[in-house]
Structure 1
Amino acid sequence: MAGTSNQSVGRAFRIVDELAENGGGSVSELADRLEMPVSTVHDYLQALVETGYVTVTDKEYQTTTRFLEVGHRQRHRLEVFKAVRDELETVAEETGEHATLMIEEADQAVILTVQEGPDAINLFAYPGARMPLHATAPGKAMLAHMADDRVDELIAQHGLVAVTSRTITDPEILFEQLEQIRRQGYAIDEGERIAGMVCIAAPILDKSDRIRGAICVCGPQSRIDESRRNEIADVAKRAANVTQVNLDYV
């Protein structure tokens, strides 16, 4: 019985993910893409419409903003989100670039909130966006403060997928970088997720030295030279430290 229920939930979320990924679709389109019977897809869609998570217009199904409501509520329950307060806005203003707060969830780096400085370019980054931990500065900043056994498990389960030609795909090189990140207090991603972009991230630790997230600044490689990287790293580390202090009072 439990197996059947799990399969049903899994199918429902496969349909939701497909709708979200493609911006909608008809029953037959979804059935083709998911390789599921039309009748099965139709039944699931009807149930999702009844719950308010999917809407239908002229036989075209789409997800609703109900998911946004759920995510928004969950985000505001997270202590690290509350602890950031005005820090991320300050980071964006001081650097002029794109600033994000990211956490680790389900073995991925997830954006919780975004602030854009006056010179920030549009990265199409939004709360809830997920990406591989090893291919991002904030992800590597968080990995650096996990036990080596945990990192080994993540590599064994998910691999080190190449997002760009500069993504780290060698575990030995990754562990060398994680050691360096621990020493210097910040991580750098040089086009490892987005070609031509440099991202610098500082880890957020609580009073028990448990990793809670990372503050990240991203900008075009042409604008972030070596000297500017040090300045941005200092800003990110300061903001992460203030957030760490705030965590004690959330």
Structure 2
Amino acid sequence: MARDSAHRPVETVDTAFDVIELLKRTDGAGITAIADELGLAKSTVHRHVKTLESRGLLVQEGDTYRISTWFLDYGVHVRNEHTLFPVVKPKVDELAAETDEKVWAVIEEHGMGVHIYGAEGRHSVKTHARIGQRTPLHQFAAGKAILAHLPADRIDDVLDQYGLAAQTDRTITDRDELREELATVRDRGYAFNREESVVGVHAVGAPIRDQSGVAVGAISVAGPANRLRGDLLTDELPDLLLGATNEVEINLAHS
């Protein structure tokens, strides 16, 4: 019984984070809207919101509550303290300047890909990707590069937990097809994304591995499909990425 209690969620904490998630998703809401959306009593929502506001985690604008910049402080701190960040940032900046495209550094956390840093080249295009975004690993190049270089049982856990939802009609949603793709990624050392996360955008991603060969992150280069194609996509960018990730791996091992 004690063991079950130890793993039971604390309802008040769960509710507080449900409120925070809702405010993030809606960019702010009032007590009534929060209560209706979460199926809670207004008095319960009011207590949670006022507690969060008193701790500086929410701000009130009229009848609307929004997430405060406390979360920015937390996020920047976590990103800056991550072992990979200070090593990978200069290489991402260098690749963006060299390719003139958008370059991202991504890590895996709780089975999702998290964008921790990005740099724009002169011809970068805007997409939905942003720092802090969490994306299913199978949907994009850096994610597949990471997923391919995780232990087999970890891959199974990720796929069992999140499934294979489609982001576009080109996203791989069949487990056997994905496994074949991941085997190819392991053999050649990099992954492609051909409009699998954003229509009209191609990308290539390569893993950053620790000394045991397990991925600790990845770097990707993304751009318009009509520009990132042919030898540029299949040969030139992969060569640049493999050189960059190898350098990061060496620096990481000796940092």
Same fold (TM over 0.5): yes
Question: How is 1:237-248 mapped onto 2 (pairs within 5 angstroms)?
Answer: 237-248=242-253
Aligned counterparts of 2:160 and 2:7: Cα–Cα separation in 1: 26
Is the 8 Å Cα contact of residues 142 and 191 (structure 2) preserved in structure 1? yes
Q: Deviations over 1:117-142 (max 9, x none)?
A: 00001114221101101111111101
Partner of 2:98: 94
Q: Deviations over 1:5-59 (max 9, x none)?
A: 6111111111101111111011111111222111111110001001101011212
Partner of 2:45: 41
Partner of 2:239: 234
Aligned counterparts of 1:84 and 1:132: Cα–Cα separation in 2: 21
Partner of 1:195: 199
TM-score (norm 2): 0.94
Q: Which moved more, 1:229-238 or 1:129-138?
A: 229-238
1:125 equivalent to 2:104? Answer no
Which consecutive unaligned segments of at least 5 residues does structure 1 have? Answer: none
Is the 8 Å Cα contact of residues 141 and 186 (structure 1) preserved in structure 2? yes
Aligned counterparts of 1:232 and 1:246: Cα–Cα separation in 2: 21
Q: Deviations over 1:52-80 (max 9, x none)?
A: 01011212100011111101111111111
CA gap of 1:150–1:49, structure 2 versus 1, over 3 A, is same
Secondary structure at the aligned position of 1:224 is classed as coil
Aligned counterparts of 2:103 and 2:118: Cα–Cα separation in 1: 6
Question: How is 1:1-250 mapped onto 2 (pairs within 5 angstroms)?
Answer: 6-229=10-233, 230-250=235-255
Is the 8 Å Cα contact of residues 89 and 117 (structure 2) preserved in structure 1? no
**1:85 Cα deviation (Å)?**
3.7
Is the 8 Å Cα contact of residues 151 and 214 (structure 2) preserved in structure 1? no
The structure with higher relative contact order (CA 8 Å, sep 6+) is 1
**1:210 Cα deviation (Å)?**
2.4
Q: CA RMSD in A?
A: 1.4
**1:242 Cα deviation (Å)?**
1.1
- Name the aligned partner's letter for residue 161 of structure 2: Q
